[in-house]
């Protein structure tokens, strides 16, 4: 089953006008130079940079995404951003349920699911994140935790066209620690099995499952060559265009 590799940059709360624009321009320039990348590129800057980055990406095959959204279309929700607003700003993707949102903002899988449904209705693709903490892994509960998060966070009517999953072990995010390839393969396979039960084999077979958590140019190849790993969600290394592009190059997808 062929699934187009997705190389996605999660800039998190980083980037002011000057450096954020420069980063987007550098990514765009590198991608424009590529003959025929076999992968899809995506950058997810903070809300304040969305429209500026959109302009900087003009003419380059790099999609734009945001890092969160509300489930409502508009209204009295101070500080929130709706899926329609993201679409209007030029986004085609939104990351939902990142562990930093689950931890910092107490987001539950049920809320993530509601947001994902609203984002799909607005015509956005979602990247739904799941992953276990270190204590959950040490207690042998990684598969159970990720399976539960998939069941509760992915809408019933999600399809491979509107949904991407990202497996991000919480303890690997920003730490330089990466699970063994065996552990990554095991969780990705379990996620695909859970998706098959929930959404049917067809959707599950075509749905992309990204790995995220300390992906760097030097580990991209071994992680991205695993059978059920269909791309990467990259935090720290996406803040340097050179490293972001090197991840795709080293993985052999561009």
Q: Which are the catalytic amino acids?
A: 98, 168
Nearer to ligand PGA, 199 or 220 (CB): 220
The secondary structure of residue 238, as a DSSP letter, is G
Binding test (CB under 6 A) with ligand PGA, winner from 235, 244, 251, 254: 235
Which helix (H) or strand (E) segment is 144 a member of? helix 142-153
**Residues 236, 241, 245, 251: which binds ligand PGA (CB under 6 A)?**
236
Structure token digits, residue 66: 């945001």
Binding pattern for the stretch 134-173 against ligand PGA, x by CB under 6 A and - elsewhere: ----------------------------------x----x
* Residues 6 or more apart whose Cβ sits within 8 Å of residue 250: 217, 218, 220, 221
Q: Is 45 in the site for ligand PGA (CB under 6 A)?
A: no
Give the nearest distance from C-beta 212 to ligand PGA in angstroms.
4
How many chain residues are in contact with ligand PGA, going by CB under 6 A? 13
Measured from each CB, the residue nearest to ligand PGA is: 235
CB of 237 to ligand PGA, least distance (A): 6
Euclidean distance between CA atoms 62 and 248, whole angstroms: 13
Decide: is 9 part of the binding site for ligand PGA (CB under 6 A). Answer: no
Is the CA virtual torsion 229, 174, 116, 114 positive or negative? Answer: positive
**217/236 with CB nearer ligand PGA:** 236
Nearer to ligand PGA, 119 or 199 (CB): 119
CB of 100 to ligand PGA, least distance (A): 7
| Locus of tokens 């003959």 | 35
Q: Is 174 in the site for ligand PGA (CB under 6 A)?
A: yes
For the chain, the straight-line distance linking the first and the last C-alpha, in angstroms and rounded, comes to 19
Instruction: Tell me how far, at minimum, the Cβ of 105 lies from ligand PGA, in Å.
Output: 15
CA distance 231 to 226: 10
Measured CA to CA, the distance from residue 238 to residue 13 in angstroms comes to 12
Is 37 a binding residue for ligand PGA by CB under 6 A? The answer is no
Check if the beta carbon of residue 232 is closer than 8 Å to that of residue 219: no
Closest to ligand PGA by CB, 84 or 101? 101
In terms of CB distance, is 100 or 228 closer to ligand PGA? 100
Question: Helices (H), strands (E): how many in the chain?
Answer: 11, 8
Distances (CA, A) of 99 to 17, 18, 27, 142: 26, 28, 26, 14
- The residue ranges that bind ligand PGA (CB under 6 A) are 10, 168, 173-174, 212-215, 233-237
């Amino acid at each position: 089953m062929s699934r187009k590799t997705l190389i996605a940059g999660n800039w998190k709360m980083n980037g002011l006008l000057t450096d954020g624009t420069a980063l987007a321009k550098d990514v765009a320039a590198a991608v424009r130079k590529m003959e025929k990348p076999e992968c899809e590129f995506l950058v997810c800057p903070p809300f304040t940079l969305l429209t500026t980055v959109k302009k900087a990406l003009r003419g380059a095959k790099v999609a734009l995404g945001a890092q969160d959204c509300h489930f409502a279309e508009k209204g009295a929700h101070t500080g929130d951003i709706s899926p329609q607003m993201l679409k209007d700003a030029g986004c085609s993707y939104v990351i939902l349920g990142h562990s930093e949102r689950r931890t910092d903002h107490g987001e539950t899988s049920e809320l993530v699911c509601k947001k994902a449904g609203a984002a799909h209705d607005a015509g956005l693709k979602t990247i739904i994140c799941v992953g276990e903490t270190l204590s959950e892994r040490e207690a042998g509960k990684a598969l159970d935790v990720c399976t539960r998060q998939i069941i509760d966070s992915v809408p019933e009517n999600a399809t491979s066209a509107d949904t991407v999953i990202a497996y991000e072990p919480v303890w690997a995010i920003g730490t330089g620690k990466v699970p063994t390839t065996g552990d990554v393969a095991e969780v990705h396979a379990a996620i695909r099995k859970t998706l098959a039960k929930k959404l049917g084999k067809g959707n599950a077979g075509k749905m992309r499952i990204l790995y995220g958590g300390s992906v760097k140019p030097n580990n991209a190849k071994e992680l991205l060559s695993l059978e059920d790993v269909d791309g990467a969600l990259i935090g720290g290394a996406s803040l340097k265009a050179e490293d972001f592009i090197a991840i795709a190059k080293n993985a052999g997808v561009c």
